[in-house]
A and B are shown apart, each in its own frame.
Chain A
Amino acid sequence: MLPLLFVVIPLGAALVIFLLSRVWERAGDLFANLATLSLFVISLTLVGPILRGDTFAYNLGATSPLGIHFTIDGLSLLMLITINLLCFMSSLYSVNYMERYTAKPRYYILLMLMIMGMNVVVLGADLVNLYIGVEIAAIACYALIAFGVEHEYLEASFKYQIMGTVATLCILLGIALIYRTAGTLNIVELYDAVAAAGGMGNPILVFSSVLFLGGFGLKAAYIPFHAWLPDAHSTAPTPVSAILSGVFIKVVGLYCMIKVFFSIIGLTPAFSMVLMVLGAISIIVAVLLALAQWDSKRLLAYSSIEQMGFILLGIGIGTPLGILGALFHLINHATFKSLLFLDAGSVETATGTRDLKELGGLNQRMPVTGVTTAIASFSISGFPPFNGFWSKLIIIIALVQAIGIGYPGFAPAYITFAVIALVGSILTMAVFLKLERHIFFGSLPEKLAKVREVPWLMCAPMIILAAVCIGVGIAFPWVIGNLLDPAVGVLSVFGLGG
Chain B
Amino acid sequence: MSLSPGILLITIFLPMAAGLLCLLVPDRVRWGRESIAVATTLAVFVIAILIFIAPELRFQTGEIGLGIRYLDLYSYSFSSFLLMFSSLFGLLISLFSIRYMQGRGRLREYYFYLLLTLGATNGAFLSDNLILFLAFWGIVMVTLFLLTTIGSRDASPERVFDAGHKSLMIIGGADMALLLGIGLLWYLSGTFTMSAITPQSGGMATAAFVLIMLGAISKAGAMPLHSWIPNMAEAAPTSVMAFLPGSLDKLLGIYLLSRMVLNFYEFSPGCPMSLLLMIIGAVTIIAAVMMAMVQHDMRKLLSFHAVSQAGYMVLGIGTGTPIGVAGGIFHMLNNSIFKSGLFLSGGSVEHGTGENDLGKLGGLAKAMPITFIACLICALSISGVPPFNGFFSKWMVYQGILEAGASQFWIFLIAAMFGSALTLASFVKLIHSTFLGQKPRELEGVKESGISMTIPLIVLAALCVVFGVFAQLPITQFIAPVVGPVTVSGVWSPTLATVLLLVALAIGLIIYFIGKIRVTREVPMYIGGETLDPVETSVPGTRFYDTIRFMGVFSGLYRRGEEAVFDIYSYGKYVLPVTRVLSVLHNGRLTTYVSWCLWGLIILFLILVGVG
| Cα separation A213 to B608 with both chains bound (whole Å) | 11
Determine whether B202 belongs to the interface, using a CB cutoff of 8 Å to chain A: no
B66 CB contacts on chain A under 8 angstroms = 321, 397
Interface residue A34 (Cβ < 8 Å from any Cβ of B): no
**Residue B134 is within 8 A (CB to CB) of chain A in the complex:** yes
User: Are B183 and A230 in touch, CB under 8 angstroms?
Assistant: no
Given A209-B608, A274-B608, A401-B187, are A430 and B169 neighbors across the interface (CB < 8 Å)?
yes
Does chain B have a CB within 8 A of A67?
no
Q: Is the CB of A443 within 8 A of B157?
A: yes
Pair B605/A207 contact, Cβ less than 8 Å: yes
8 A Cβ contacts from A403-456 to B: 403-404, 418-419, 422-423, 425-427, 429-430, 433, 436-437, 441-443
Query: Which of A175-183, A220-228, A234-242 has 4 or more CB atoms under 8 Å from chain B?
Result: A220-228
Q: Judge whether A381 is part of the interface by a CB distance below 8 angstroms.
A: yes
Residue A384 lies at the interface, judged by CB distance under 8 Å to chain B: yes
Residue of B nearest to A400 (CB): B183
Known contacts A292-B582, A443-B158, A477-B64; A426 and B612 CB within 8 A of each other = no
Tell whether B410 is near chain A: CB-to-CB under 8 Å: no
Bound complex: CA A201 to CA B169 (Å): 48
B220 within 8 A of A: no
**Known pairs A383-B138, A385-B135; A224 contacts B597 (CB<8 A):** yes
B139-A385 in contact (CB<8A): yes
Contact flags A177-209 to B (C-beta < 8 A → 1, else 0): 000000000000000000000001101001101
Supposing A210-B604, A383-B142, A400-B187 touch, asked if A166 and B597 sit within 8 A by C-beta, the answer is yes
Measured between alpha carbons, how far is A292 from B573 in the docked complex, in Å? 12
Q: Which residue of A lies closest to B141 (CB)?
A: A383
Cα separation A338 to B339 with both chains bound (whole Å): 44
Instruction: Let me know if B601 and A422 touch, CB within 8 A.
Output: no
Min CB–CB distance B205 → chain A (angstroms): 13
The residue that B575 contacts in the complex, of A274, A288, A429, with Cβ under 8 A, is A288
What CA separation (Å) do A224 and B601 show in the bound complex? 9
Most buried by A among B162, B578, B600: B600
B610 to chain A, nearest CB (A): 9
A270 to B609 CA separation, bound complex (whole angstroms): 10
Q: Is the CB of B582 within 8 A of A285?
A: yes
B554 in the interface (beta carbon within 8 A): no
For residue B505, CB closer than 8 A to chain A, the reply is no
Q: Kindly identify which residue among A206, A404, A429 contacts B168, using a CB–CB cutoff of 8 Å.
A: A429
Instruction: Please tell me if the beta carbons of A292 and B583 are within 8 angstroms of each other in the complex.
Output: yes
Nearest chain B CB to A399 CB, angstrom units: 8
Count of A interface residues, CB-CB < 8 Å = 66
* Majority DSSP secondary structure for residues of A touching B: helix
Which residues in window 559-605 of B have CB below 8 A to A? 572, 575-576, 578-580, 582-583, 586, 588, 590, 592-594, 596-597, 599-601, 604-605
* Chain A residues near B138 (CB-CB < 8 A): 383-385, 389
Q: Is A457 an interface residue when CB atoms closer than 8 A count as contact?
A: no
Q: Among A207, A228, A292, A433, which residue has its beta carbon within 8 angstroms of that of B169? A: A433
Is residue B611 within 8 Å, beta carbon to beta carbon, of the partner chain?
A: yes
Contacts of A427 in B (CB 8 A): 575
Residue picked from A207, A321, A397, A429, most chain B C-beta under 10 Å? A397
Are B165 and A162 within 8 A (Cβ)? no
A433 touches B168 (CB 8 A): yes
* A230→B586 contact, CB < 8 A: yes
Nearest to B602 among chain A residues (CB) is A210
A159 in the interface, Cβ–Cβ < 8 Å?
yes
Taken together as a complex, chains A and B put the C-alpha atoms of A354 and B230 apart, in Å, by 34
B578 contact from A158, A288, A443, Cβ within 8 A: A288
Interface positions, chain A 268-302, Cβ under 8 Å from B, are 270-271, 274, 285, 288-289, 291-292
User: Number of residues in B with C-beta < 8 Å to the partner?
Assistant: 58
Q: Which residue of A lies closest to B135 (CB)?
A: A384
Q: Which residues of B contact A442 (CB under 8 A)?
A: 157-158, 161
Indicate whether B236 reaches chain A with its CB closer than 8 angstroms: no
Which of A361, A384, A404, A441 is in CB contact (< 8 Å) with B187? A404
A393 to chain B, nearest CB (A): 7
Taking a contact as CB atoms closer than 8 A, the residue among B172, B184, B579, B594 that contacts A289 in the complex is B579
The residues of A that contact B136 with a CB separation of less than 8 Å are 384
Interface string of A141-182 (1 = CB under 8 A from B): 000000000000000001100110010001000000000000
B607 within 8 A of A: yes
CB distance from B267 to the nearest CB of A (A): 22
**Cα of A425 to Cα of B176 in the assembled complex, Å:** 8
Assembly CA distance A108 to B605 (angstroms): 41
Chain A residue, CB-CB nearest to B579: A292
Q: With A396-B183, A441-B157 as given contacts, are A227 and B593 in contact (CB-CB < 8 Å)?
A: yes
Question: Given A217-B600, A383-B141, A383-B142, are A400 and B184 neighbors across the interface (CB < 8 Å)?
Answer: yes
Q: Does B180 contact A (CB under 8 A)?
A: yes
A365 nearest CB across to chain B (Å): 13
A378 contacts partner chain B, Cβ-Cβ < 8 Å: yes
Which B residues touch A383, using CB under 8 A?
138-139, 141-142, 172
Report the minimum CB–CB distance from A435 to chain B (whole Å). Answer: 12
State the Cβ distance, B570 to closest chain A Cβ, in Å.
Answer: 13
Is B179 an interface position by the 8 A CB rule? yes
A68 at the interface (CB under 8 A from B): no
Q: How far is the CA of A286 from the CA of B168 in the complex (A)?
A: 21
User: Is B199 on the interface with A (CB-CB < 8 A)?
Assistant: no
- For the complex, is B156 an interface residue (Cβ under 8 Å from A)? yes
Q: How far is the CB of A309 from chain B (nearest CB, A)?
A: 14
Q: In the docked arrangement, what's the CA distance between A103 and B141, Å?
A: 48
Q: How far is the CA of A251 from the CA of B605 in the complex (A)?
A: 24
Chain B CB within 8 A of A214 CB: yes
Closest chain B CB from A179 CB (angstroms): 20
User: Would you call B597 and A426 a contact (CB within 8 A)?
Assistant: no
In the bound complex, what is the Cα–Cα distance between A166 and B597 (angstroms)?
9
Residue of A nearest to B139 (CB): A384
Please name all residues of chain A whose beta carbon is closer than 8 Å to the beta carbon of B39 when the two chains form the complex.
Answer: none
Residue-wise interface mask of B (149-180) relative to A, using a CB-CB cutoff of 8 A (1 in contact, 0 not): 10000001110111001001100110011011
The answer to the question of A53 belonging to the interface, with a C-beta cut-off of 8 Å to chain B, is no
Cross-chain contact A214 with B579 (CB below 8 angstroms): no
Q: Is B131 an interface residue (CB 8 A)?
A: yes
Chain A residues with Cβ under 8 A from B550's Cβ? none
Does A218 sit at the interface, judged by CB under 8 A? yes
The 3 lowest CB-CB distance pairs between A and B, nearest first, are A227-B593, A400-B183, A292-B579
Q: List 20 A-B contacts (CB under 8 A).
A: A206-B605, A207-B605, A228-B593, A231-B588, A288-B575, A289-B579, A361-B157, A384-B138, A396-B180, A397-B186, A400-B180, A401-B187, A419-B180, A425-B176, A430-B169, A430-B575, A433-B165, A437-B161, A441-B160, A477-B70
Known: A206-B609, A291-B576; 11 extra A-B contacts, CB below 8 A, are A203-B609, A210-B605, A214-B600, A227-B593, A384-B134, A393-B131, A418-B183, A433-B169, A437-B162, A441-B161, A443-B156
Residues of B near any A CB (own CB < 8 A): 64-66, 70, 131, 134-136, 138-139, 141-142, 149, 156-158, 160-162, 165, 168-169, 172-173, 176-177, 179-180, 183-184, 186-187, 572, 575-576, 578-580, 582-583, 586, 588, 590, 592-594, 596-597, 599-601, 604-605, 607-609, 611-612
